[in-house]
Amino acid sequence: MTVEIDASPEFTSYAHPERLVSTDWLAEHLGEDGLVVVESDEDVLLYETGHIDGAVKVDWHTDLNDPLVRDYLDGAGFAKLLSRKGISRDSTVVIYGDKNNWWAAYALWVFSLFGHDDVRLLDGGRAKWEAEGRAYTTETSKPAPTDYPVVERDDHVLRAFKDDVLAHLGNPLVDVRSPEEYSGERTTAPAYPEEGTLRAGHIPSAQSVPWAKAVADNGTFKPLDQLNAIYRDGAGLKDGDQIVAYCRIGERSSHTWFVLTHLLGFKNVRNYDGSWTEWGSAVRVPIVKGAEPGAVPAK
Amino acid sequence: MVSDPELPEALATIRDDFLALEQHERLQLLLEFSQELPELPTQYADHPDLLERVEECQSPVFIFVDVDSEGDGGGIVHLHATAPKEAPTTRGFASILVQGLAGLTVQQVLDVPDDYPLTLGLTEAVSPLRIRGMSALLGRTKRQVREKTAA
């Protein structure tokens, strides 16, 4: 690791405290060699309205997704993007964003697919930085380009595809969408544009744990005991489990993936980024409606 | 420039302004629009119940349409919209429609092509998924106009 970790006591109980930094830590370390701050938001213009001094913007649609195929950018594209953003392979990257770091966690997950070693989240994200009255600038950062190596994405460890999920049935699944999406109440209403999913409900046996349950009122992650109560006691996850999390397109479930992997220390958690927009339109995959998880169908 | 005699002048000008710019400058123009979204008139600001939430937008945006008394081609449509400052893209979309539809009659608003948001050249800078939020705003505006002018 290039930049020292944040040893704040509120992080030490987590499985991987080195994955979080506090706003205090970031304010102290801004501008340090080896540190690159990345803002990643739902809103593509939020960075332009003001951002942490020196932060570069990475947008999930326009930077991380392939414009043609429903996939992420490839190794060459990632190398080009990170070089442009002034990130080296050994840089400490701290990502923050809006909406409880929802998109920041998504960016972190994509960085992890490429094996970028030291990538952390700013606990509390934009909202906490702002609530504390910390400074923003509207000056777009112009980092010196680096020479990030071309590293191919590894989709085997952290990412699940539809066929992987079918094979996975019988193992724990976490549906992190809203209760209405889970139960299948929410379909498209009259006069609404079709979002592209043909069926409503959830994957059989999936536990419903809306992603934002992991977040406290001030936008920071809840302490370990509360997270354990939600995911271990509530959703029944156990050490050693193979776990797949999903949502609509894999963004909210990246956030849950982060919680399960880096805060709770589960070792085999994959994010199914195809999520409901794929499953809910796929032919002949099993679906359960209603508030109960439902049984795994016989194969 | 795309020639389209049907498109009201303000909407055509906005479109041409966007298309004349490089991709990254288009984002900047959208940001300027977001800063120009007018505050709600007090009668709506005090009555959030009158506003309709547009669910398709990723960030909450509320709109309200009122229509002046009848004239040629129907009354004049007034679109009011509000979205939080944390949602500048959504504010920008709303602002484009507020400015582009200003002074138009019911018929002119209903005749605005549904794919207008796709013609602004923003799909690359903003992404097609996000542009859908603007299409939804336009669709909701037209629906409210229809409801308010139904005899």
CB neighbour class for A115 (10 Å; exposed up to 12, middle 13-18, buried from 19): middle
End-to-end CA distance of chain A: 46
CB B94 within 8 A of CB B65: no
Q: How far apart are the first and last CA of chain B?
A: 39
* B133 has pLDDT over 80: yes
Query: B3-37, pLDDT tens digit by residue?
Result: 555 799 999 999 999 999 998 899 999 999 999 99
Alpha-carbon distance of B134 to B116, in angstroms, equals 9
For residue A194, give the chain B residue with the closest CA. Answer: B56
For B70-123, the three-class secondary structure string (H helix, E strand, C coil) is CCCCCCEEEEEEECCCCCHHHHHHHHHHHHHHCCCEHHHHHHCCCCHHHHHCCH
For residue A104, give the amino acid letter: A
Find the closest chain A residue to B93 by CA distance.
A45
Q: How far apart are CA B113 and CA B126, in angstroms?
A: 20
Strands A173-175 and A242-246: parallel
What distance in Å separates residue A289's CA from the closest CA in chain B? Answer: 22
Strands B52-53 and B62-67: antiparallel
ipTM of model over 0.85: no
Mean pLDDT of the A211-218 span = 94
Placement of tokens 């500048």 in the chain: B88
Cα distances (angstroms) measured from residue A159 to each of A72, A115, A154: 11, 13, 8
Does A44 sit within 8 Å of B130, measured CB to CB? yes
Three-class DSSP category at A183: helix
pLDDT at A46: 95
**Rg value, chain B, Cα:** 15
pLDDT tens for each residue of A190-201? 444 445 688 999
> B88 and A49: CB-CB below 8 Å?
yes
Contact residues of A toward B, CB < 8 A: 42-46, 48-49, 59, 61-62, 65, 67, 98, 189, 191-193, 195
Contact yes or no for A98 and B86 at CB 8 A: yes
- Cβ–Cβ of B27/A44 closer than 8 Å? yes
pLDDT for B74 equals: 74
Name the band, by pLDDT with cuts 50, 70 and 90, for residue A187: low
Cα A246 to Cα A165: distance, rounded to the nearest angstrom: 10
| A-B Cβ pairs (cutoff 8 Å, strict) | 59
The yes-or-no answer on residue A247 being catalytic is: yes
